[in-house]
Amino acid sequence: KSKHLDDLRSKEQRETERFQKQLKAIQAEIERENLKELDKRAKLLEAERKARANLDAKLQTLQSSFDQTMEAEMAESRKQAIEAKHRSVLSQLDSLRRVESKLSAKTTDLELQAWEAQQETEEMRTVIEELHIRLQEKDDEIKLAKQAEKEALTLSQKHRKRAKAYLNQKMEQALQLDRSELRHQLDASKDQRMNKHLAAEQSARESHQEHLEAMRIRIEKESLSEIEKRDKLLQIERKSKADLDVQLQRLQSKLRMALEVDKKEATVQDYALSLKYRELSSLVETLHQDKASLETKLRELTRNSETASLEAQRTSDGLRFENEHLRQKLSNKTSAVESLKQAVEDAVGETEKRLEEAHTALDLKMKTAILHERERISREYEAKQQSLIDDQKAAEDRARQISLEQLSALRAEIEEEKIDAITKREKLVAIEKSSKQELERKLQRMREQFKGALDMEQKDAQRKQADADKRHAETSRDMSKILREKSELQAKLGALVKSSEKRIADAEKEITTLRLELRNVRIELKSHKKQIEQGEEVKQGVLLAEKAIQKQQEEKFKQSLRIMQTEREQYLKDHERAKAKHIQDHRIAEQAAKDSYQTKL
């Protein structure tokens, strides 16, 4: 950007130098012509006006080309950053898919072993019925557990409703705050435009009064009767008043148009805020639904695990006999269960590690994005500040040049008048003093306008920086909340796996104490089949929880990207509107100075 800015400054310098050379050549050519001094000055001023208009058009073309180049480079850099983030997310998804493939292979092997165990158990006799009382007790325990679970579910739903209502209230408050800020900005813009309008009207009236005073002095010097002087003065006053009324009507029309544009922009921004908060509400509702779904699946997994544990307990109470050949097969099935447990633990550990790495990478990208956003806002503010300084210097130089030209023209007119030297000197001193005072007033107004524009740019940059920090902080808080919920679910799943392992170990211990009964060895095999199915259910629960967490992170990441993209687009639009506004104000100031100059001529 610095290189392009230097090129733009060098091109503007070359065009200015070419304009100066062209102006000097035209001045020399007019000086060689046999014309009156007033005709020469008029012709020189007309040629200077045309050359300056040509110079302004070229400078505007260069500025437009520079803006288009910078916009293209910014768009390309944003595109590359988004592509890099997209590639990183795809790489993480591929890693998770590889883990899922490994788990699928393990599942296939375990299903084959379960089918073999089922074929063996089909050859054995059914289990004798001798534990009816204990089964009834276990059924009562299950009923109590279901009742407790139902109460916990009701309480959880109440908490979820309260949390949802609280979150909706907070979001509504945030929306109201944003709308209040928008209304405040609209009122401030309206006050600023009204102040500028009043200042422009005051300037026009001052120019009108100065013009009348100048014409009144000139008419007093003419050799006319008092009646002719009064008639001529009244005619000039009517014409000047009509011009002043037209100028004031034009200013009022511009003010009304500007206020209408501000009102439409405020309406569009208010609609954008409402749309943004509706999207956030929909996203929060989706996250609540996903959380409720995960909790439901976790409860189902807990019930299945408890059912499997009770089944193992009931079957272990009926174990009496054992066969040496079947004991060896039982050992093999136990090894298969242990292999399943180890595979599930490895898969869970690897998944947690990859999710942690993904979270670290995402956090680093978020911090990098925040840093880049701050640097970009700072660079743009510095560029705007430098541009305003350059424009202010150029405007002051042009005002001084115009004042010198006017003073030279008035000096030439006084020199041509047939009066004594003392009177000429007094008139020259008065004219120089008046011209100097008028120049100082113009420069003071320009400096005040420049200071106001610079303050507005600084406040705008600070506000945008604060908004960006606030949005990034909200995104970080949402990410932390999702990660905490993920950690809680993983902790519950880990506790469930440990509880299942403990119950399986107790069942195996009781099986080893009653291996002398052959009938119950068959039940033991069936119990191990149940354990394998339980391990499969645990694995499926882990996979579902992992996929749900992965989906949440992907959706949150995409939402963050969309919000960041929308904010960048909104910032570019605001920048273009502010730039167009500054250019328009600058042109209005130049036109007012030129009109004042033409009026005095």
Per-residue pLDDT of 430-465, as tens digits, reads: 777 877 787 788 777 777 876 776 777 777 767 766
Higher pLDDT, 99 or 61: 61
Q: What is the pLDDT of residues 384-397, one digit of tens each?
A: 667 767 777 777 77
Q: Which residues contact 574 (CB under 8 A, 6 or more apart)?
A: 460, 464
CA distance 16 to 146: 88
Average pLDDT score over residue span 239-246 = 79
Spatial neighbors of 280 by CB under 8 A, at least 6 apart, are 171
Which has more confidence, 56 or 535?
56
- The mean pLDDT value for 256-271 works out to 72
Give 143-154 pLDDT, tens digit per residue. Answer: 776 777 677 667
- In this predicted structure, the answer to whether residue 272 has a pLDDT above a threshold of 70 is no
Q: Concatenated DSSP letters for 350-400?
A: HHHHHHHHHHHHHHHHHHHHHHHHHHHHHHHHHHHHHHHHHHHHHHHHHHH
The DSSP 8-state label assigned to residue 517 in this structure reads B
Q: How distant is the alpha carbon of residue 581 from its chain centre?
A: 23
Confidence at residue 182, expressed as pLDDT on a 0 to 100 scale: 67
- Report the alpha-carbon distance of residue 85 to residue 326 in Å, rounded: 57
H or E element that contains 469: helix 421-513
Q: DSSP for 477-505?
A: HHHHHHHHHHHHHHHHHHHHHHHHHHHHH
Residues 366, 360: Cα–Cα separation, whole Å = 10
- Which residues, listed in sequence order, are joined to residue 517 by a DSSP beta bridge? 321
Mean pLDDT of 405-417: 75
551 vs 293: CA distance, rounded Å: 13
pLDDT in tens, 177-222: 766 776 777 777 777 777 877 787 788 778 778 877 887 787 777 7
pLDDT score recorded for residue 199: 81
**Tens-place pLDDT, residues 72-120:** 777 676 667 656 665 765 676 566 567 556 656 665 665 666 566 566 6
pLDDT at 337 over 60: no
Q: Cα separation of 147 and 200, whole Å?
A: 79
- Distance between CA atoms of residues 578 and 586, nearest Å: 12
Question: Which of 251-255, 299-303, 397-401, 507-511 comes out lowest in average pLDDT?
Answer: 507-511
pLDDT bin (cut points 50, 70, 90) of residue 259 is confident
Assess whether pLDDT exceeds 70 at residue 406: yes
Q: Which residue has the higher pLDDT, 8 or 231?
A: 231
| Cβ atoms of 449 and 192 closer than 8 Å | no
Sign, Cα dihedral of 497, 151, 283, 564: negative
* pLDDT score, position 79: 65
Neighbour tally for 537: CB within 10 Å? 16
Residue 25 above 80 pLDDT? yes
Global pTM reads 0.29
- Which residues are within 8 A (CB) of 134 and not within 5 positions of it... i.e. 6 or more apart? 314, 317
The residue ranges of every structural domain in the chain are: 130-317
Segment 562-583 mean pLDDT: 66
Q: Looking at the predicted structure, is the pLDDT value of residue 357 above 60?
A: yes
> Which tokens go with 535?
């391990």
Nearest-angstrom CA–CA distance, 79 and 89? 15
Q: Please say whether the beta carbons of 305 and 492 come within 8 A.
A: no
pLDDT at residue 353 tops 70 = no
Is the pLDDT reported for residue 41 higher than 70?
yes
Q: What is the pLDDT of residue 585?
A: 73
Residue 19 pLDDT grade (very low, low, confident, very high; cuts 50, 70, 90): confident
CA distance 536 to 111: 9
Sign of torsion over alpha carbons 419, 421, 425, 426: negative
What is the average pLDDT across 302-330? 57
Look-up of token digits 């983030």: 85
Closest CA to 331 of 511, 126, 535: 511
Among 285, 300, 373, 404, smallest CA distance to 78 is for 373
CA distance 515 to 323: 8
User: How would you write 173-233 as a 3-class SS string?
Assistant: HHHHHHHHHHHHHHHHHHHHHHHHHHHHHHHHHHHHHHHHHHHHHHHHHCCCCHHHHHHHH
pLDDT reported for residue 26? 79
Q: Check the CA dihedral 521-522-527-532 and report its sign.
A: positive
Q: What does the pLDDT average to over 503-508?
A: 57
Average predicted confidence (pLDDT) for the chain: 69
Nearest to 460 by CA among 344, 357, 380: 380
**21: pLDDT strictly greater than 80:** yes
